[in-house]
Chain A
Amino acid sequence: MTTTEAVARTAGTAKETLRTHSLRQALQVQSFQILLVLLVVFLAFAALAPEVFPTWGNVRQIIQNVSILGVLGIGMTFVIVTSGIDLSIGSNLVFSGVVAAKAMQAMGDSGWGTAIVGIVVAVGCGLGWGLLNGVLIAKAKVPPLIVTLGTLGGALGLAQVITGGVDIREVPAVLQDTIGYGNVPGTTLPTISLIAMVLILIFGTVLHRTRFGLYTFAVGSNEESARRVGVKVDRQLISIYALSGGLAGVAGILSLSQYGTTAIAGQSATNLNVIAAVVIGGTSLFGGVGTIFGTVVGLFIPAVLQNGFVIVGIQPFWQQVAVGAVLVLAVYVDQRRRAAAARGHSGKGDGTKKLFGRRTT
């Protein structure tokens, strides 16, 4: 809920500029700080349950359970860097999974041929919803919050129309055995996590090392300036929402593989969980600032908290309280940094320098 309010607030104040010079330094600092928080949480649980918590078997299952959210987090980071929001990812995931399951059901057999068709269909469906989001946002100028709230309902509703609300549980065995619960041959690393890591590396490079990534930051920092220096803003936005949708499609097939069911009633809070992780990871809701690395760390904080709370035997409700606190804190840090930047202290100024100085010296 906090997230939605924060988003609404963003709309009016998203216009301020940030000097690119301080950008890199500042975000390095926040993802570093959030990594420290993750380490502290990890060490606290490791101290409380030394023989259970810090084992590879336990860490492995945390990584496995974060993988699907990781894939969604990539797209969400791109979207939030443009100061947008994508609420539709959870429904998009369910819709893509449902259509892919229907297609695979129609094919009949449970070999790789069917699985590949399913993968293509899922990614295609995800892309479709993403393109729709992008076109409505960039061309029709409807605010992202409203567009994706609309497609959130639309995708879920259509998924229920297609299935009559009845989950499809016929998923090809190859998908479940290799992707869902399989390991990378010769290791104990889950395949699903390797897929997520590869995607994170690819799109991390795209965001931080390519012109496409630079334009993404430019659009998020100041849409008007980006337009005036010749960035095709509309096309950029459409591509980014399509990317987010396509990745939701990938997540859809991963979810099918892992759960063996379309879980239509599930994923209702996935969008907010991913947005929270992106924000905790230091990506600013005001746009123009963010890292994929921060998002990954941001995803691990709730996952590690939940795992630790279960192992230590604390009521599950406390996890939400803890994640909420970390979320508000992360936005507070972002606000401080923006206030410092607005006072002209960015780059060589006191506030940011103090933060950055601590790390380099």
Chain B
Amino acid sequence: MKLTPQTALLAASLLTAASLTACAGGTAPAGSTGAQPKLTFIQGVAGDEFYVSMQCGINAAAKTAGATINTQGPAKFDPTLQKPIVDSVVASRPDAILIAPTDVAAMQAPLKAAAAAGIKVVLVDTTVQDPAFAASSIASDNKGGGLEAFKAIKNLNPAGGKVLVISTDPGVSTADARVAGFEEGAKADASFEYLGVQYSHNDPAEAAKLVSAALAKDPDIVGVFAANTFAAEGTATGIRQAGKQNQVKIVGFDAGPAQVKQLKEGVVQALIAQEPASIGTQGVEQALKAIKGESTTKEIQTGFKQITAENLSGVGAQYVYKSSC
């Protein structure tokens, strides 16, 4: 047979269909058999260690409870990418959705519609404007985490000085709370000057540029609080570019492999780690309770741990995020 475009197209579509069937057979072990609760976990962004660790907690809890779990996530932390996924998940009618919403306003209506369709919604990590429809909201006590980050900077710079915050995007509830907690701590302490917050849009390169610019303006900055994984990566790069590793202390939030490596190398001096696995486990517990019609805890706050170079080989090790389960 001659390879005409048409035959090529047909062959390719057949191949696609065949591989689809194959994939589906391999990864989706027929969820509808028996009375197993069907859960879906929608990440804020696919492939991020924080959400992977949460996924590990969820998978373990679901396995113990005999529930099936389907994990989906957008390629970027972006509500315009997450909404179609939520809509598709709702169409597949799971018993419960565990989700980290990517925007407080944009995800409100789709998730409310899911709850109205009888699907139990558990918000993990981030939240929405009016979470009244959700069975439960589980997140780290982010404000407390921000305050803890300030305390960590104070420990590293007892004399005080100028401090800066590199956050992700405005409107992400968790990041905003961390910044608020840090700001509160910094403003209450007269020996520190709070330079405000800069937004890196989840892009390490952007964070590096912001830090370089801030150091050009205020060469005597003593501490930077990087409010999430990407911001911490970029902040470290920016400080290294300016050659001020010894002067500027960085406290990062989150403890992905990249941050832990930086901690080991002395680029970052302390990490404030959340407990994503615990968020996931409790999320599954609440979702299962809601499915059974039992009363749920509306709001749960999980803690955070400080990881430093000293405790990394000891107690700190268990708080490091995982890149696979």
Chain A residues at the B interface, C-beta cutoff of 8 Å: 29, 33, 36-37, 40-41, 43-45, 47-49, 52-53, 55, 57-58, 61, 64-65, 164-167, 169, 176, 180-181, 255, 258-261, 263-270, 303, 306-308, 310-318, 320, 322, 325-326, 329, 332-333, 336-337, 351, 354-355, 358
Contacts of A354 in B (CB 8 A): 4
User: In the complex, what's the smallest C-beta–C-beta distance from A46 to chain B, in angstroms?
Assistant: 11
Contacts of A169 in B (CB 8 A): 104-105, 129, 171
Contacts of A312 in B (CB 8 A): 20, 23-24, 28
User: Are B109 and A313 touching (Cβ within 8 A)?
Assistant: no
* Per-position binary interface string of chain B over residues 18-30, scored 1 when its CB falls under 8 Å from any chain A CB and 0 otherwise: 0011011001100
User: Are A167 and B170 touching (Cβ within 8 A)?
Assistant: yes
User: In the complex, what's the smallest C-beta–C-beta distance from B256 to chain A, in angstroms?
Assistant: 19
User: In the complex, what's the smallest C-beta–C-beta distance from A239 to chain B, in angstroms?
Assistant: 29
User: Are B105 and A265 touching (Cβ within 8 A)?
Assistant: no
Taking A266-B81, A314-B23 as contacts, is the C-beta distance between A61 and B105 under 8 angstroms? Answer: no
User: Are B16 and A316 touching (Cβ within 8 A)?
Assistant: no
Using a Cβ–Cβ cut-off of 8 Å, how many residues does chain B contribute to the interface with A? 55
Interface residues of B in 202-219 (CB under 8 A from A): 202
Taking A322-B16, A329-B8 as contacts, is the C-beta distance between A307 and B78 under 8 angstroms? Answer: no
Q: Which of A165, A176, A351, A358 lies in contact with B199, CB distance below 8 A?
A: A165
Q: Which of A259, A318, A333, A355 lies in contact with B103, CB distance below 8 A?
A: A259
20 contacts between A and B (CB under 8 A): A33-B6, A33-B9, A36-B9, A36-B13, A37-B9, A41-B16, A61-B88, A61-B91, A64-B87, A164-B170, A167-B170, A176-B109, A259-B105, A263-B103, A310-B72, A312-B28, A313-B27, A314-B27, A314-B28, A332-B8
Contacts of B76 in A (CB 8 A): 266, 268-269
Q: Which of B80, B87, B89 lies in contact with A267, CB distance below 8 A?
A: B80
Contacts of B109 in A (CB 8 A): 176, 180-181, 260
User: Are B88 and A311 touching (Cβ within 8 A)?
Assistant: yes
User: Are A307 and B88 touching (Cβ within 8 A)?
Assistant: yes
Closest B residue, CB atoms, query A93: B80
Known: A308-B20, A316-B85. 7 other contacts (CB 8 A): A37-B12, A48-B20, A167-B171, A261-B171, A266-B76, A270-B80, A311-B88
User: Are A332 and B5 touching (Cβ within 8 A)?
Assistant: yes
Contacts of A176 in B (CB 8 A): 109
User: In the complex, what's the smallest C-beta–C-beta distance from A260 to chain B, in angstroms?
Assistant: 4
User: In the complex, what's the smallest C-beta–C-beta distance from A339 to chain B, in angstroms?
Assistant: 10
B65 in contact (CB, < 8 A): no
User: In the complex, what's the smallest C-beta–C-beta distance from B75 to chain A, in angstroms?
Assistant: 7
Taking A261-B103, A261-B106, A355-B5 as contacts, is the C-beta distance between A52 and B91 under 8 angstroms? Answer: yes
B92 in contact (CB, < 8 A): yes
B169 in contact (CB, < 8 A): yes
User: In the complex, what's the smallest C-beta–C-beta distance from B3 to chain A, in angstroms?
Assistant: 9
Taking A310-B85, A313-B70, A355-B6 as contacts, is the C-beta distance between A166 and B91 under 8 angstroms? Answer: no
Contacts of B103 in A (CB 8 A): 167, 259, 261, 263
Distance of A336 Cα from B3 Cα, bound (Å): 11
Contacts of A322 in B (CB 8 A): 16
Contacts of B27 in A (CB 8 A): 313-315
Distance of A335 Cα from B20 Cα, bound (Å): 27
User: Are B78 and A166 touching (Cβ within 8 A)?
Assistant: no
User: In the complex, what's the smallest C-beta–C-beta distance from A114 to chain B, in angstroms?
Assistant: 17
Contacts of B242 in A (CB 8 A): none
Distance of A321 Cα from B90 Cα, bound (Å): 24
Distance of A351 Cα from B199 Cα, bound (Å): 55
Taking A52-B93, A176-B109, A266-B80 as contacts, is the C-beta distance between A41 and B13 under 8 angstroms? Answer: yes
Contacts of B16 in A (CB 8 A): 40-41, 44, 322, 325
User: In the complex, what's the smallest C-beta–C-beta distance from A354 to chain B, in angstroms?
Assistant: 6
Taking A33-B9, A260-B108, A261-B106 as contacts, is the C-beta distance between A307 and B81 under 8 angstroms? Answer: no
Closest B residue, CB atoms, query A340: B5
Closest B residue, CB atoms, query A358: B6
Q: Which of B10, B70, B75, B201 lies in contact with A265, CB distance below 8 A?
A: B201
B252 in contact (CB, < 8 A): no
Distance of A315 Cα from B46 Cα, bound (Å): 9
Interface residues of B in 72-103 (CB under 8 A from A): 72-81, 83-85, 87-93, 103
Taking A167-B103, A263-B80 as contacts, is the C-beta distance between A48 and B24 under 8 angstroms? Answer: yes
Taking A36-B10, A263-B78, A310-B89 as contacts, is the C-beta distance between A167 and B105 under 8 angstroms? Answer: yes
User: Are B8 and A333 touching (Cβ within 8 A)?
Assistant: yes
User: Are B108 and A40 touching (Cβ within 8 A)?
Assistant: no
Closest B residue, CB atoms, query A328: B12
B31 in contact (CB, < 8 A): yes
User: Are B91 and A303 touching (Cβ within 8 A)?
Assistant: no
Most buried by A among B72, B90, B91: B91
Taking A255-B80, A312-B24, A313-B27 as contacts, is the C-beta distance between A265 and B9 under 8 angstroms? Answer: no
**Top-6 shortest CB links A-B:** A310-B88, A259-B106, A313-B28, A58-B91, A266-B80, A333-B5
User: In the complex, what's the smallest C-beta–C-beta distance from B207 to chain A, in angstroms?
Assistant: 13
User: Are A41 and B17 touching (Cβ within 8 A)?
Assistant: yes
Interface residues of B in 26-82 (CB under 8 A from A): 27-28, 31, 46-47, 70, 72-81
B14 in contact (CB, < 8 A): yes
Distance of A340 Cα from B75 Cα, bound (Å): 39
User: Are B72 and A316 touching (Cβ within 8 A)?
Assistant: yes
Distance of A263 Cα from B16 Cα, bound (Å): 34
Distance of A322 Cα from B12 Cα, bound (Å): 11
Closest A residue, CB atoms, query B81: A266
User: Are B93 and A259 touching (Cβ within 8 A)?
Assistant: no
Closest B residue, CB atoms, query A64: B87
Closest A residue, CB atoms, query B198: A165
User: In the complex, what's the smallest C-beta–C-beta distance from B27 to chain A, in angstroms?
Assistant: 6
Q: Which of A45, A65, A333 lies in contact with B83, CB distance below 8 A?
A: A65
User: Are A61 and B13 touching (Cβ within 8 A)?
Assistant: no
User: In the complex, what's the smallest C-beta–C-beta distance from A183 to chain B, in angstroms?
Assistant: 13
Distance of A44 Cα from B16 Cα, bound (Å): 9
User: In the complex, what's the smallest C-beta–C-beta distance from B168 to chain A, in angstroms?
Assistant: 9
